[in-house]
Structure 1
Amino acid sequence: MPFSLVICRQIDNEAEHDPLAKQTIKRVFHLLHEYHAGYDEKLKSAYELYSEYAIYLELLKSGYKIDRIPEAQGEKRPDFRVSNGEDSIYIEAKILGWSGGSIQHNKAIESGIDAQIDIEKQIQTGKNVAFGISEYNPIGGGKDAQEQGEQYIIETLIKKLANNVKTGQLALGDTFLLCDITSLSLFPYPREESAAVHNFHNPYGSYTSGILWHIAFAKHGDMILKSIEFEGKPNVAGRLNQEGLMERHPQLAGVVFRTKGLGTEVKYTSMIPSAKFEKYGDIVTRLFDYWNDEDNSNAWHLLSDKHDGQS
């Protein structure tokens, strides 16, 4: 689980005056008290608590009033309320971990050990520079993931997220589902993946379907494009067997993705229906880094060469 030392220090500082931060630290320490190594459900729960407070801190940077919705026994409620003085939205955060739990975690550890052994062997033979290759797949899939590419990622994440939407979490008002997928390390270019289709960083200029856009807005049977390995290879991955989150749960006001690219910087991408953007556009563009709608109407900006400022 990718805990950030920087964020941990921020939570420590907040605990001096914020009871929520103090409570978060206490609960995390309680879960990790008997943890030693490897995959553990308590580690997963601790990471979820840490991530929820990290999201709270990041949302506060907007300058809007961010309230934590208190938990109620026997009731499902959203996590946050965001107010700009005139309008309010609710946010329900879902923290996604690796598929398969300990299975994928152990595979990643084994791959890392194999890479280290390769490096040591190269050094023993007298090489001045040695390297090893370690592989992991946070969403599993094996051969299907390799052959279907973007389609497999879209369908897998839709299934994981759709089952987590509960009616009670949407009952207080217009609610956005915030999907924290930073631990998956699958989206180094969230801006481009927020468009319906793009050819950013793709081999041979091939076009691929925007993964984040399709997780939110895809319809059953939509054709999905994948990147090609070399000229002449098929560009079509297949047709979707799943509906996007907004199709499955039209009561959602939008879907937000929290991603982490090649560095440590976290980005937020909002997928919001055009009708909701008319009402909450000011909140969305100030709260999140990027946005797009079901009509792909902001793709012109997302795919422009000017990658600065609000998108």
Structure 2
Amino acid sequence: MATLTEAFLREVQAQATVAPSMSVGAHSREIQSVLAFIENEPAAGKLCRDIDRIFRVSNWLLDPVCLQKFIQLVGEAEFWMLVKERGVELERIIESDEKSPDFKLKSDAAVAPRFEVKTLSVKGGDINIAGMSESSFEAQLSLSQQISEGKCFATAITEAAPHGHITDGKNTTAIIRNLIDKTCNNLKTGQYTDGPTCLVLNLMLIDGYYDGSTNLRPIVFGWPDGWSVRSGAYWNLAFGQTEHLVFGLSEFEGKPGIEGKLERQGVLAANKDIAAMLLVVHPSGESPLIYGLMREADEDSWQEEKRELAEAFFKLVEKNWNDDLDTNGWCLFNLTNGGQS
């Protein structure tokens, strides 16, 4: 019987000349690691069965509903795997009719910290995924036609739009609004009230356009030019306010740098029941990282009755965290800017 990794690679190879998925291709290495983790984790039996059920669907990689469900399951398991690699032990919470988070910290405490994992899909969900698959298929068809016509070099363009169609000059605004909207659409009442609970967002499908932890700051300076300024997408996802101005990257000197107002409230600003936010991000060419966002006003309680939550949070994020007052902004950096903030 084939392993999950073997079944995954067989499907990827089968569709490689039909309509290769850029989302899957970009994260193939990480997906294989997660599938191996699932098969070797005794408590991941349900995840293993759910993924195996998807793999039994003919051409599942071309089915947008199956592909979206697969990425959501992989995103949940990836967080579990990364947490375990960092020495934090979680217990999977058994699903029931009552709404509950996905994991809780292994602890002797009466109420252990909990973690609710959401893998955000692209804007438009399976409809957009289907559109990207169609674009990929048309590109492959064009390549085949060019080769059959005897061309020495065949080229084609395919499009991936995880944040949907973006109006020119509104890139940063569209990204932040989409992240907030997708997150809020995934929040369920009652999942964050039984104990200190972190919301975990896996951004495998809709990572931001810019690498580096400076996205955890309200404002990001100095990239790609020394005079450049943009709003930090992840900070605004958590703490943005409707009247906040959104700063975007100007195409040239002298073009206005303010895109407009955010017109959204950040997730942590609007939902006091959520103790903190963790983001699973995938920097280009790097291993996945976990970023963290918390409220500065909660610091005292984290040092006292929520000490277990604090210890787990900082063990997972290391230096990649910030709060609503930009307390840790001084040591955050741009991967795309040689490590400079």
What CA distance in whole angstroms lies between the structure 1 residues aligned with 2:144 and 2:254?
40
Question: Do 2:115 and 2:199's aligned partners in 1 also have CA atoms closer than 8 Å?
Answer: yes
| Alignment CA distance shift 1:204-1:42 (3 Å) | same
Cα distance change on mapping 1:203 and 1:307 into 2, 3 Å? closer
Alignment counterpart, residue 158 of structure 1, candidates 162, 180, 188: 180
Structure 2 residue identity aligned to 1:286:
K
1:299 equivalent among 303, 306, 329? 329
Q: Aligned in 2, Cα 1:117/1:203: closer, same or farther, shift over 3 Å?
A: farther
Q: Structure 1 residues 124 and 206, CA, compared in 2 at 3 Å: closer, same or farther?
A: farther
* Alignment deviations for residues 81-128 of structure 1 (CA, whole Å, 9 cap, x no partner): 125777942111111112223432233234334544665677689876
Match for residue 172 of structure 1? 194
Q: Report which stretch shifted further, 5-14 or 152-161.
A: 5-14
Instruction: Specify the alignment match of 1:54 in structure 2.
Output: 78
| Alpha-carbon distance in structure 2 between the residues aligned to 1:42 and 1:56 | 21
Give the superposition deviation at 1:8.
1.3
- Which of the numbers 62, 69, 75 marks the counterpart of 1:45? 69
- In the superposition, relative to structure 1, how do residues 178 and 163 fare at CA in structure 2: closer, same or farther (>3 Å)? same
Change (3 A) 1:93 1:143: closer
Pick the aligned partner of 1:10 from 4, 18, 37. Answer: 37
- Flag the 1:202–1:31 CA change in 2: closer, same or farther, 3 A: same
Give the Å deviation of 1:276. Answer: 2.9
* 48-57 or 153-162, which deviates more: 48-57
- The Cα shift of 1:46 comes to 3.2
1:245 aligns with 2:293: no
2:312 to 260, 268, 283: 283
Give me the whole-angstrom Cα distance separating, in 2, the residues matched to 1:248 and 1:122.
53
Q: Which amino acid aligns with 2:78?
A: A
2:338, 2:228 → 1: CA distance? 21
User: What residue identity is the alignment partner of 2:326?
Assistant: N
Per the alignment, do residues 41 and 56 of structure 1 end up closer, same or farther by CA in structure 2, a change over 3 Å counting? Answer: same
Q: Is the 8 A contact 2:76 2:202 kept in 1?
A: no
Q: Deviations over 1:34-65 (max 9, x none)?
A: 24242332332233223212211111122233
- Identity percentage over the alignment? 25
- Work out whether residues 39 and 101 of structure 1, in 8 Å CA contact, stay in contact via their aligned partners in 2: no
Question: How far apart, in 2, do the equivalents of 1:277 and 1:88 lie?
Answer: 18
Matched, 1:98 2:122: yes
Q: 2:205 aligns to what SS in structure 1?
A: helix
Distance 1:255 1:274 in 2: 13
Can you give the 5+ residue segments of structure 1 that lack an aligned partner in the other structure? none
TM-score, structure 1 length as denominator?
0.85
Q: Which has the higher mean CA deviation after the structures are superposed, 129-138 or 113-122?
A: 113-122
User: What is the DSSP-based 3-state SS (H/G/I as helix, E as strand, rest coil) of the residue aligned with 2:291?
Assistant: strand
Whole-angstrom CA distance in 2 between matches of 1:299 and 1:135: 34
Contact kept, 8 Å, 1:98 with 1:183, in 2: the verdict is yes
Task: Name 1:199's counterpart in structure 2.
Answer: 221
Give CA deviations for 1:171-224 in whole Å, capped at 9, x if unaligned.
221111111111124344141211111135335631000000000001111001
Q: Aligned residue for 2:16?
A: none
Letter aligned with residue 219 of structure 2: V
Matches within 5 A, 1:40-189: 40-73=64-97, 75-82=98-105, 88-116=112-140, 131-140=155-164, 142-144=165-167, 146-189=168-211
Q: Distance in 2 between matches of 1:103 and 1:165?
A: 21
Give the match's secondary structure for 2:123. Answer: coil
